[in-house]
Amino acid sequence: MVQRRIPKARDLAPLLQFKRPELDGRKRRLDAAYTIEDLRRIAKRRTPKAPFDYTDGAAEGELSLARARQAFKDIEFHPAILRDVSAVDTSTTILGGESALPFGIAPTGFTRMMQTEGEIAGAGAACAAGIPYSLSTMGTSSIEDVAAANPGGRNWFQLYMWKDRDRSMALVERAAKAGFDTLLVTVDVPVGGARLRDSRNGMTIPPSLTLKTVLNAAPRAEWWFDFLTTEPLAFASLDRWSGTVAQLLDTMFDPTVDFDDLRWIAEQWPGKIVVKGIQTIEDARRVAEIGVDGIVLSNHGGRQLDRAPIPFRLLPQVARELGDAYEIILDTGIMNGADIVAAVAMGADFTLIGRAYLYGLMAGGRQGVDRAIEILRGEIERTMKLLGAPSLADLGPEHVTQLQRLVPVDGVGARV
Ligand SMILES: Cc1cc2nc3c(=O)[nH]c(=O)nc-3n(C[C@H](O)[C@H](O)[C@H](O)COP(=O)(O)O)c2cc1C
């Protein structure tokens, strides 16, 4: 029989720890997010459907993105025990400069449409965290404003080669003048991918007020308030546009761009040059011959070719064969700091995050991006400690097995 007694007030006192309620709603919301998935859920609640789907969605059946995320989930880690991991060092050098963490912010277009603080929030958060920030050609803040938001930090400029070469090169010159140290040339967009969510939502830039969008706006009043009371959306590099996103992309992108153009761009740019969107070993080899400083193994977050190769699966062979030819950066599908640790262990020098930071932005502006970075940093540090790796250099392929769900049916298909 359990002996019971009446609790005394002095026993209860230490159990009653009422916290003062957090009055700052944004902080309260963000403090309750422990993962990037949590930030995504908050973002979805707070952002109108069209911009949320533009960010969250991918091309066609969205298989490329789902597979890339699944590949990270299908990792098995192999921890080493009894190592002194009382302090872990997450810093690294990439493209001739420092980064406090093994990831930077990927270039994303139309960022102020997701949340009004947009690129400035991203660049400010990158500055505070000591990581590089990438501004897209389709950015909605100017090159100079981004430079001012990240003083002393590293900015990279992402270039889409337009049909109008002079205007693209004028942008590149502006970026060089503003101190951007790296040019990311994106090569996986000869045409825009079929983003079916956008077509179904009738997505336009800027978002248009139809009966559907007005109804959807009611529970997302703060977004509309911000949108209507801050600078109208303008592009860093374009004049106003009032068509659909798909029409804009098709007008801008130049399907004739080839390796000679890449050589030509590399000659113009004074800093480091990286090709973003490499998806085969053959192309990884060809750009090594051009002498670029780095590549981004990426399928554009699944937003271009659906059923594209999974960058994380390409990584081991590219690292093995070409790891000395240039620096290898990886993106697509990163939702957890452990994904980044696995990528570094398998040979990536660096990674980029797209949606992971955009969910933070939509959940709470600048503070939301800070929170996303803090979540990833915590996951990276904890995973490194649990793996027994006190620095990024201590990580190696022995720490990771990629469990494979999808394997090529025969030798012909075995491209990776
Ligand atoms: C909303 C959105 C806009 C993007 N815009 C660009 C862009 O303008 N230029 C570019 O090179 N990549 C762009 N990307 C691709 C990202 O740079 C990056 O490759 C991708 O987001 C990585 O996948 P992740 O979102 O799973 O991290 C965009 C991605 C998203 C989600």
Question: For every one of its 416 residues, what pLDDT tens digit does the chain have, with 9 covering 90 and above?
Answer: 899 988 888 888 778 777 788 899 999 999 999 999 999 999 999 999 999 999 999 999 999 999 999 999 999 999 999 999 999 999 999 999 999 999 999 999 999 999 999 999 999 999 999 999 999 999 999 999 999 999 999 999 999 987 778 888 888 999 999 999 999 999 999 888 999 999 999 887 767 767 777 778 778 888 888 888 888 777 666 655 666 666 777 777 888 999 999 999 999 899 999 999 999 999 999 999 999 999 999 999 999 999 999 999 999 999 999 999 999 999 999 999 999 999 999 999 999 999 999 999 999 999 999 999 999 999 999 999 999 999 999 999 999 999 988 888 765 555 54
Distance 93 CA to ligand 1 centre (A): 23
CA distance 367 to 358: 12
Is the Cβ atom of 336 under 6 angstroms away from ligand 1?
A: no
- Which atom, in ligand 1's list, is nearest to the CA of 107? 17
Phi, psi (5° rounding) for residue 303?
-95, -5
- Which atom, in ligand 1's list, is nearest to the CA of 158? 11
The protein residue whose alpha carbon is closest to atom 30 in ligand 1 is 108
Structure tokens at 260: 């000679």
Residues 6 or more apart whose CB falls under 8 angstroms from that of 142 comprise 236
Residue 10: predicted pLDDT: 83
CA distance 137 to 168: 9
Tokens 């640790």, residue located? 341
- Which atom, in ligand 1's list, is nearest to the CA of 301? 23
Read out DSSP for 68-92? HHHHHHTEEE-PPPS---SS-B--E
CA distance 140 to 237: 8
Residue 253: predicted pLDDT: 80
Exposure of 309 in the CB half-sphere (CA atoms within 13 A): 20
- Which atom, in ligand 1's list, is nearest to the CA of 277? 19
Residue 18 in domain: no
Read out DSSP for 36-74? HHHHHHHHHHHS-HHHHHHHH--STT-HHHHHHHHHHHT
Distance 358 CA to ligand 1 centre (A): 10
C-alpha closest to that of 134 among 260, 339, 288, 294: 294
Distance 301 CA to ligand 1 centre (A): 6
Reduced to 3 states (helix: H, G, I; strand: E, B; else coil), residue 414 is coil
Structure tokens at 375: 């979540």
Distance 43 CA to ligand 1 centre (A): 17
| Chain centre to alpha carbon of residue 214 | 30
Is the Cβ atom of 56 under 6 angstroms away from ligand 1?
A: no
Q: Which residues of 162-172 are buried (b: 16+ CB within 10 A; e: fewer)?
A: beeeeebbebb
Residue 97 in domain: yes
The protein residue whose alpha carbon is closest to atom 11 in ligand 1 is 186
Are the C-beta atoms of 178 and 150 separated by less than 8 Å?
Answer: no
CA distance 40 to 53: 11
Distance 1 CA to ligand 1 centre (A): 64
pTM equals 0.94
Is the Cβ atom of 182 under 6 angstroms away from ligand 1?
A: no
C-alpha closest to that of 381 among 347, 337, 351: 337
Reduced to 3 states (helix: H, G, I; strand: E, B; else coil), residue 253 is strand
Residue 341 in domain: yes
- Count of structural domains within the chain: 1
Is the Cβ atom of 107 under 6 angstroms away from ligand 1?
A: yes
Residue 189 in domain: yes
Structure tokens at 64: 């490329």
Residue 370 in domain: yes
Is the Cβ atom of 332 under 6 angstroms away from ligand 1?
A: yes
Residue 362: predicted pLDDT: 98
Most ligand 1 atoms within 8 A of CB, residue of 108, 135, 278, 373 to mutate: 108
Are β-strands 155-159 and 133-135 bridged in parallel, bridged antiparallel, or unpaired? parallel
CB atoms within 10 A of CB 261: 15
- We report the CATH number of the domain holding residue 321 as 3.20.20.70
Is the Cβ atom of 340 under 6 angstroms away from ligand 1?
A: no
Q: Is 20 exposed, middle or buried (0-12, 13-18, 19+ CB in 10 A)?
A: exposed
Most ligand 1 atoms within 8 A of CB, residue of 54, 252, 303 to mutate: 303
- Which atom, in ligand 1's list, is nearest to the CA of 333? 26
Full domain range(s) for residue 243: 36-402
Residue 194 in domain: yes
Distance 109 CA to ligand 1 centre (A): 7
The amino acid at 302: G
Q: Is 258 exposed, middle or buried (0-12, 13-18, 19+ CB in 10 A)?
A: exposed
Most ligand 1 atoms within 8 A of CB, residue of 146, 300, 335 to mutate: 300
Residue 227: predicted pLDDT: 86
Structure tokens at 38: 């949590």
Read out DSSP for 346-360? TT-SEEEESHHHHHH
Residue 391: predicted pLDDT: 98
Residue 199 in domain: yes
Please list the active-site residues.
300
Distance 354 CA to ligand 1 centre (A): 5
Alpha carbon distances (Å) from 310 to 239, 340, 395: 35, 15, 21
Residue 105 in domain: yes
The protein residue whose alpha carbon is closest to atom 1 in ligand 1 is 55
- Which atom, in ligand 1's list, is nearest to the CA of 188? 11
CA distance 52 to 55: 5
The amino acid at 192: G
